[in-house]
Amino acid sequence: MIRAILIDDEEHCLFTLNLLLAEYCPRVEVVASCTSVIQALDCIEKTKPELVFLDIEMPFMNGFEMLEKIKPISFSIIFTTSYDQYAIKAIQYSALDYLLKPIDPKGLVAAVQRVEQHKMNPSAEQFQMLMDQLAQKDRRFSKIAIPTIEGYELIPADQVVHCKADDNFTILYLKNKSMKIACRSLKEMEEQLLDFTNFLRVHNSFLVNMNEVSRYIRGDGGYLIMTDGTTINVSRARKDALMKYF
């Protein structure tokens, strides 16, 4: 069982999330539901949860500010939020998890499964990256957090040449000829890189940094030759989107 705390200032949201967890995630045991940050901090100290569902938008102190008061953070976190584009981007780049309200059962199950599979608490570097981005909204993201088997790595996005799908993992090929295996699907990696306009999904299995494309060879879908010499197939369905770059 995963011991969890739910934190949200809206009682109907807590009620709904409790119902969803009971029905779709029976391995999650809700040990407390909190409607305020003060109550939540006390519950976290007393119950030592393994997982916290944390609403971002709360009065007096938001979820991010609450986390700054907890050191070290010894539990996994799934943020819950209404649509806040910048906060969501900051969460994605930090490789942290979130659910949009109203919460979709499939998304909830997938988020809980990631917690079960990886069994890693967020690193201090991830939270520092998150807080830095939230504090400086006018600055563009330059790095992404990559969840690996060992932990997390912060990688400058412009060092990624291309990404390749490998079941539920993604292999990142970097300019220095090294590879990183991310515990994220290619779709999730695409979402992390969404704000970098130079990244494009050209195939079900490939996401490329367009700044690292040397040549495009025509064909049914054609293929790309990258700066590191790698050949990347382009699917017919994604060819039109690629052509907009040329």
pLDDT tens for 20-70 read 999 999 999 999 999 999 999 999 999 999 999 999 888 888 888 888 888
Pairing of strands 76-81, 51-55: parallel
Mean of per-residue pLDDT scores for the chain:
87
pTM of the model: 0.63
- Structure-derived torsion over alpha carbons of residues 55, 58, 61, 67, reported in degrees to the nearest 10: 0
Q: What local confidence, expressed as pLDDT, does residue 134 receive?
A: 72
55 vs 184: CA distance, rounded Å:
23
pLDDT tens by residue, 64-102? 888 888 888 888 899 998 866 667 777 776 768 889 899
Q: How far is residue 17's CA from residue 140's CA, in Å, rounded to a whole number?
A: 33
What CATH number has the domain spanning 2-135?
Answer: 3.40.50.2300
pLDDT over 70 (residue 174): yes
Q: How far apart are CA 106 and CA 111, in angstroms?
A: 9
Domain boundaries, the chain: 2-135, 158-243
Q: Which has more pLDDT, 150 or 239?
A: 239
- Average the pLDDT over each of 88-92, 108-112, 173-177 and give the range with the smallest value: 88-92
pLDDT tens-digit readout, 128-148 = 777 777 776 555 567 788 888
Q: What are the phi and psi torsion angles at 71 (to 5°)? A: -145, 125
pLDDT at residue 41, rounded to an integer: 93
CATH for 158-243 (2.40.50.1020, 3.50.50.60, 3.20.20.70, 3.90.930.60): 2.40.50.1020
| Residue of 56, 58, 104, 50 lying closest to 74 (CA atoms) | 50
3-state secondary structure the chain: CEEEEEECCCHHHHHHHHHHHHHHCCCEEEEEEECCHHHHHHHHHHHCCCEEEEECCCCCCCHHHHHCCCCCCCCEEEEEECCCHHHHHHHHHCCCEEEECCCCHHHHHHHHHHHHHHCCCCCHHHHHHHHHHHHCCCCCCCEEEEECCCCEEEEEHHHEEEEEEECCEEEEEECCCCEEEECCCHHHHHHHCCCCCCEEEEECCEEEEHHHEEEEECCCCCEEEECCCCEEECCHHHHHHHHCCC
